[in-house]
């Protein structure tokens, strides 16, 4: 079933496919038509260079998880008052931490998922509350950040917090804040009413609760929060996004410029290749009778200042096509406007492959082993059903460890034409490839 679903071809609408963008999506689309329509388009060269089978596993796992209802993944447990702490990671603030140390009057933490909760360390000292919450509170610690990381805030924090906000209409929500206080700014910008419901808790602060505490207790097989990419969560956020959009024109193409010197997290593109990709996009736009000067280069900055949340939101909600390598900037796909099942905007994301083992940001180390990581905002946004998602492999650029990756240009070029036709790509035509 699912294998068939990914071969679904969207109806061809010619150059007018995007004309409905910006109108509210009142027509519900099925998950199979939208999220499951995501594809990877490799060139013959990329097929030789990397093991494309990893894509089908990735595709399958993403959809399996995305389609699950939250209630099958965790239970909401209400406990009596007590105290808790969001401890910082023993190896330093750059390490991801999502554990909560908790003590409540009537439940021992051992009855909760041990990957998310552990017993509040007991000492002979009396508890010294750094913060007291008097109202009932729901706790959620996102998979993230002592340092503000836009991509994580958009995909890990926002959907979950927004879901709690819309599901539990009375309680306060305790959310971990970052060291610079940008998370509160972001949530206030997104929805001031949501912001009012939140108590921002710095790591390592002891919080005492005077009323009931509710926790999201994941099923015992859930060991890490990045498994929790559920489309039901993202759907709540999207509903709010579509209400927020002041129906501006949707007439831009965004090229995500992730060049050397802009970030230390790898997956950068070489300047001259990036220029070629932009030129390919211009040619494709001309061929589709669209203005080639609608391409906007985006690197998260406005001059030498970082762009504001509002600026990024406005820019991406005016785009009918976005392309670039996997990186935080792609989180802005969340703001793209949509119409119905056929007239959706398109995203082409360049993702790590088995050929990018020497590219920083494409692997994690586990002891001496390097583990390859395919990452895409298609997955992080639980299938991103409001856009048509295309993936293109990145390949190695240098023979040594490098921050720079090379993009499969031919795969990119095919994706461009498919995206601009307003069509889903026809995978079977590509050398008998099955995904
Ligand atoms: C603990 O207290 C909460 C709130 O009063 C209650 O809903 C819950 O059932 C109690 N749990 C146990 C195991 O006693
Ligand atoms: C990109 O694809 C188009 C459409 O298939 C083709 O006409 C064009 O020659 C390709 N460009 C390059 C540089 O391969």
Cα 413 to ligand 2 centre (Å): 6
Name the nearest CA neighbour of 52 among 351, 348, 327: 351
Vertex 168: Cα angle to 65 and 132 (nearest 5): 110
- In this prediction the pTM is 0.89
Which residues have any ligand 2 atom within 6 Å of their CB? 413, 417
Choose the residue to mutate in 417, 421, 426 for probing ligand 2, maximizing ligand atoms within 8 Å of C-beta.
Answer: 417
- The answer to whether 163 and 155 are in contact (CB under 8 A) is no
The per-residue pLDDT for 200 is 96
Nearest-atom number in ligand 1 for the CA of 106 is 1
3-state secondary structure of 4: helix
The per-residue pLDDT for 64 is 93
Distance of CA 153 to the CA centre of its chain: 9
| Mean pLDDT, the chain cut into blocks of 10 residues (435 residues total) | 32 40 55 86 93 91 93 93 92 84 86 92 83 95 79 93 89 92 96 96 95 95 89 91 75 91 83 97 94 94 93 93 96 86 85 92 83 91 93 92 94 94 43 32
SS3 content of the chain, % helix, strand, coil (to 5): 35, 25, 45
Q: Please state, in angstroms and rounded to a whole number, the distance separating the CA atoms of residues 347 and 330.
A: 9
Cα 113 to ligand 2 centre (Å): 52
**21: phi > 0 → left, psi -120 to 50 → alpha, else beta; which?**
beta
Which residues have any ligand 1 atom within 6 Å of their CB? 78-80, 106-107, 212
The per-residue pLDDT for 260 is 75
Nearest-atom number in ligand 1 for the CA of 107 is 13
Q: Whose CA is nearest to atom 10 of ligand 2?
A: 413
Q: Please state, in angstroms and rounded to a whole number, the distance separating the CA atoms of residues 122 and 280.
A: 62
Q: Where are the domains of the chain?
A: 31-68+246-432, 73-229
């Amino acid at each position: 079933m699912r294998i068939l679903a990914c071969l679904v071809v969207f109806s061809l609408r010619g150059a007018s496919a995007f004309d409905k963008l910006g109108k509210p999506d009142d027509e519900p689309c099925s998950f199979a038509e939208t999220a499951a329509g995501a594809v990877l388009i490799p060139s013959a060269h990329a097929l030789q260079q990397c093991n494309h089978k990893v894509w089908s596993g990735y595709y399958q796992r993403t959809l399996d998880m995305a389609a699950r209802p939250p209630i099958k993944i965790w239970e909401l447990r209400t406990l009596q008052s007590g105290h808790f702490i969001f401890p910082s990671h023993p190896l330093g603030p750059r390490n991801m931490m999502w554990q909560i140390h908790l003590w409540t009057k009537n439940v021992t933490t051992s009855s909760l998922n041990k990957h998310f909760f552990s017993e509040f360390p007991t000492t002979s000292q009396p508890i010294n509350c750094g913060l007291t919450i008097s109202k009932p509170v729901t706790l959620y610690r996102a998979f993230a950040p002592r340092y503000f990381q836009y991509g994580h805030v958009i995909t890990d924090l926002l959907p979950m917090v927004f879901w709690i906000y819309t599901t539990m209409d009375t309680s306060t929500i305790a959310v971990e804040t970052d060291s610079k206080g940008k998370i509160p700014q972001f949530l206030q910008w997104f929805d001031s009413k949501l912001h009012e419901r939140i108590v921002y808790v710095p790591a390592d602060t002891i919080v005492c609760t005077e009323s009931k505490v509710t926790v999201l207790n994941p099923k015992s097989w859930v060991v890490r929060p990045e498994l929790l990419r559920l489309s039901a969560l993202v759907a709540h956020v999207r509903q709010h996004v579509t209400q927020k959009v002041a129906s501006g024109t949707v007439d831009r193409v965004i090229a995500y410029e992730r060049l050397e010197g802009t970030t230390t997290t790898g997956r950068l593109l070489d300047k001259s290749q990036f220029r070629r990709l932009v030129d390919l996009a211009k040619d494709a736009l001309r061929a589709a009778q669209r203005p080639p000067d609608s391409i906007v280069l985006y690197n998260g900055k406005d001059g030498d200042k970082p762009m504001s949340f509002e600026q990024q939101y406005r820019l991406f909600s005016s785009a009918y096509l976005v392309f670039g390598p996997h990186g935080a900037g792609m989180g802005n796909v969340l703001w793209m406007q949509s119409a119905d099942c056929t007239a959706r905007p398109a995203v082409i994301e360049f993702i790590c492959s088995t050929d990018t083992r020497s590219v920083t940001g494409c692997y994690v180390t586990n002891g001496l082993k390097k583990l390859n990581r395919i990452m895409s905002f298609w997955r992080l946004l639980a299938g991103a059903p409001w856009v048509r998602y295309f993936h293109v492999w990145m390949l190695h650029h240098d023979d040594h460890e490098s921050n720079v990756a090379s993009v499969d240009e031919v795969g990119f070029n095919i994706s461009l034409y498919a995206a601009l036709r307003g069509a889903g790509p026809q995978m079977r035509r590509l050398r008998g490839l099955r995904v």
